[in-house]
């Protein structure tokens, strides 16, 4: 049955949606792999531990990471010549455990990924290829979340005075903005091909044809990860904040009356046959509003009501309470890839998954923001 775990009008209820979701994944089990989906979910466990102080969340999460990181700091089954930005997301989780424990193996493992960034192929203008050899000269919004949040956190912790590194990170955001942002709507297309040879690439900009909600969500969340660690004296800081606030304004305008956001967000497809309110993007945008308010980047008077509306939708539409006391997370599209033809028909053909980490993790992030509000 559908269940409203947290009636926002009366404040935090006894049941914590964040803790309930974390408990549910512990009970179900999560395969320990380096996949970005798991790493996204694990970020929710960091917040569950922060919220509750319950060591079971830290213990379970550390066990998942320790299944991948050997005592000498090598990452099990890591491919040193496989350049996929998706795999770099793990660096954030490794830095979390290094900061928490001081154990060198986590820093060494993170340095493997940091060094891989240095070797990653780039476009002519300096942007990281999303994956080599699969997607040459392509930058996707997804890749910003996967690689550049970690790149920034590593630089902040270990190389903060390296202006060239900060410039390089900023370049990744600047490239994405220059090629994928629609200046009229404020939304960003899924990605772009700098060589303009992909079947879906716009002949002038190289951009993909459509705005896919989760890609925009990855980008939105990454801005919230890098802005807090960005040097206050670096000139790109102002640009990054502008990228975030203008995107937030566009998302506020495109929020559906239900409180959620459509899978394909381009105006001509809103309400079209096959399109639907998708849960991972809706969770990411809700979280983004809430954290943006907390960081002082967004005006609470403008964004808190839309955020609460979004969160209530997440609870009422996408959370299902099970007889065993766990909850399921529903309504998350399995994947969206520019290995496709980039068409509307492609995106709406991808099936939905239950308990997909890419949606459940951002729901946990949003829950943390609500529960600490």
Tell me the per-residue pLDDT of 288-313, one tens digit each, with 9 for 90 and over.
Answer: 999 999 999 999 999 999 999 999 99
* 310 Cβ contact list (under 8 Å, min separation 6): 255, 259, 260, 282, 285, 286, 289, 366
220 shares its domain with 194: yes
Residue 315 lies inside a defined structural domain of this protein = yes
* Cα 203 to Cα 201: distance, rounded to the nearest angstrom: 6
Using DSSP's 3-state secondary structure scheme, residue 267 falls into helix
Give residues with Cβ within 8 angstroms of 266, minimum separation 6.
Answer: 187, 210, 211
Give the confidence band of 266 by pLDDT, cuts at 50, 70, 90: very high
Residues 129 and 237 in one domain: yes
Q: In the prediction, which pLDDT does 79 show? A: 96
Count Cβ atoms below 10 Å from residue 238 Cβ, excluding itself.
Answer: 10
Same-domain status, 271 and 229: no
Do 182 and 293 have their domain in common? no
Does residue 165 sit within a domain?
A: yes
Q: Helices in 104-162 by DSSP H: which ranges?
A: 104-119, 141-143, 149-158
Return the H-helix or E-strand segment holding 95: helix 90-101
- On whether residue 167 sits in a domain, the answer given is yes
Q: Are residues 276 and 204 in the same domain?
A: no
214 and 156 both lie in a single domain? yes
Give the integer Cα–Cα distance in Å for 332 and 318.
9
Determine what percent of the chain is predicted with pLDDT higher than 70. 96
Please tell me whether residues 145 and 220 are part of one structural domain.
yes
Asked whether residue 140 is assigned to any structural domain, the reply reads: yes
Q: How far out from the chain centre does Cα 268 lie? A: 26
Residues whose CB falls within 8 Å of the CB of residue 122, separated by 6 or more in sequence, listed in order: 128, 129
The model's pLDDT over 89-99, given as tens digits with 9 standing for 90+, comes to 999 999 999 99
β-sheet bridge partners, residue 329: 319
Query: Residue 2: its pLDDT value, please?
Result: 44
Q: Please give the DSSP secondary-structure letter assigned to residue 74.
A: P
Place of tokens 């609460």: 308
Full domain range(s) for residue 373: 255-373
Average pLDDT over residues 111-127: 98
Domain edge (last residue) among 93, 120, 147: 120
Closest-CA residue to 91 (of 131, 145, 15): 145
What band does 5 get if pLDDT is binned at 50, 70 and 90? Answer: very low
Q: Are residue 146 and residue 238 in the same domain, yes or no? A: yes
Give yes or no for a contact between 73 and 112, defined as CB atoms under 8 angstroms apart.
yes
**Domain for residue 19, yes or no?**
no
Which of these three, 210, 244, 278, is where a domain ends?
A: 244
Residue 249 maps to a domain: no
**191 closest CA partner among 204, 172, 210:** 210
Are 141 and 206 in the same domain?
A: yes
Tell me 298's DSSP state: S
CA distances to 13, 142, 178, 312, 352 from 4, rounded to whole Å, are 10, 31, 41, 8, 22
Q: Are residues 75 and 187 in the same domain?
A: no
Please state, in angstroms and as integers, the Cα–Cα distance from residue 229 to each residue in 42, 144, 237, following that order: 20, 15, 10
Tally of structural domains, the chain: 3
Query: DSSP of 29-86, one letter per residue?
Result: -----S-HHHHHHHHHHHHHHHHH--HHHHHHHHHHHHTTB-TTSPBTT--TT-EEHH
Residue 3 inside a domain? The answer is no
**What confidence tier does 6 reach under pLDDT thresholds 50, 70, 90?**
very low
**Same domain, yes or no, for 133 and 92?**
no
Taking each continuous run of H as one helix and of E as one strand, the counts in the chain are 15, 8
Residues 60 and 96 occupy one common structural domain:
yes
* pLDDT tens by residue, 127-169: 999 999 999 999 999 999 999 999 999 999 999 999 999 999 9
What pLDDT was estimated at residue 4?
A: 42
What does the block give as tokens for 254?
């495109």
The residue among 244, 273, 306 that closes a domain is 244
Cβ distance 327 to 20 under 8 Å? yes
Tell me the pLDDT band of 15, cut-offs 50, 70 and 90: confident
């Amino acid at each position: 049955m559908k269940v409203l775990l947290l009636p926002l009008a009366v404040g935090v209820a006894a049941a914590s949606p964040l803790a309930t979701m974390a408990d549910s994944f512990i009970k179900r089990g999560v395969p320990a792999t380096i996949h970005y989906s798991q790493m996204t979910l694990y970020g929710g466990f960091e917040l569950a531990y922060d919220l509750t102080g319950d060591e079971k969340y830290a213990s379970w999460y550390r066990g998942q990471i320790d299944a991948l990181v050997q005592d000498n700091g090598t990452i099990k089954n890591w491919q040193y010549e496989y350049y996929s930005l998706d795999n770099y997301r793990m660096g954030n989780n490794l830095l979390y455990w290094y900061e928490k424990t001081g154990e060198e193996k986590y820093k060494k493992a993170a340095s493997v990924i940091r060094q891989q960034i240095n070797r990653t192929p780039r476009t002519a203008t300096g942007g990281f290829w999303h994956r080599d050899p699969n997607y040459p000269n392509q930058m996707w919004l997804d890749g910003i979340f996967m690689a550049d949040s970690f790149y920034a956190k590593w630089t902040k912790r270990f190389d903060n005075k390296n202006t060239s590194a900060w410039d390089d990170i900023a370049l990744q955001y600047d490239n994405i903005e220059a090629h994928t942002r629609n200046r009229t709507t404020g939304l960003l297309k899924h990605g772009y091909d700098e060589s303009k040879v992909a079947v879906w690439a716009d002949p002038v900009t190289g951009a993909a044809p459509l705005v896919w909600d989760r890609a925009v969500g990855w980008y939105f969340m990454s801005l919230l990860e890098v802005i807090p660690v960005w040097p206050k004296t670096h000139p790109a800081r102002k640009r990054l904040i502008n990228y975030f606030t203008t995107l937030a304004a566009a998302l506020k305008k495109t929020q559906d009356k239900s409180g959620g956001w459509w899978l394909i967000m381009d105006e001509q497809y809103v309400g079209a046959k096959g399109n639907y309110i998708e849960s991972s993007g809706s969770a990411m945008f809700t979280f983004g509003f809430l954290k943006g308010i907390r960081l002082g980047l967004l005006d609470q008077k403008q964004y808190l009501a839309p955020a609460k509306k979004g969160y209530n939708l997440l609870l009422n539409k996408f959370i299902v309470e099970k007889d065993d006391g766990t909850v399921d997370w529903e309504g998350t599209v399995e994947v969206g890839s520019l290995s496709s033809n980039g068409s509307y028909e492609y995106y709406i053909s991808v099936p939905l998954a239950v308990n997909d980490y890419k949606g459940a993790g951002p729901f946990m992030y949003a829950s943390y923001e609500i529960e600490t509000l």
